[in-house]
Amino acid sequence: KQEVTQIPAALSVPEGENLVLNCSFTDSAIYNLQWFRQDPGKGLTSLLLIQSSQREQTSGRLNASLDKSSGRSTLYIAASQPGDSATYLCAANTGNQFYFGTGTSLTVIP
């Protein structure tokens, strides 16, 4: 069974810092890996999707990498802003379902 782990569970940084969120998964047989953002009590907003054949994807200040062989993905956030404060979830797609980590709660201090 696929297991997804996210480290750290919580992170607090001053505005302007660059930061890295980590995601690991146990089964490398994935179709893709998707990063989401979740604000308190809200649904999930898709940030980046990396197909299993890709190494990285970029969108604005966000960059996600994927190393399928080692079962790892990272989300890099450049020049963090207070509006980036949220929980970030990674999800490994094994075909017809996503396996989620428990998320990293990010607080960016003005």
Binding site for other proteins (CB under 8 A): 4, 31-32, 34, 36, 41-46, 49, 51, 89, 91, 93, 95-103
d(C-alpha 40, C-alpha 86), whole Å: 7
Report, in Å, the least distance between residue 81 CB and other proteins.
23
CB closer to other proteins, 31 vs 76: 31
User: What's the min distance (Å) between Cβ of 110 and other proteins?
Assistant: 26
Task: Tell me whether residue 18 or residue 59 sits nearer to other proteins (CB atom).
Answer: 59
Nearest CA among 25, 34, 43, 26 for reference residue 87:
43
State the minimum distance, in angstroms, from the CB of residue 32 to other proteins: 6
Q: Is 31 left (phi over 0), alpha (psi -120 to 50) or beta?
A: alpha
Nearest one of 43, 75, 46, 42 to 61, comparing CA atoms: 75
For other proteins, give the closer residue by CB, 64 or 91: 91
In the numeric block, the tokens 């907003």 are attached to 45
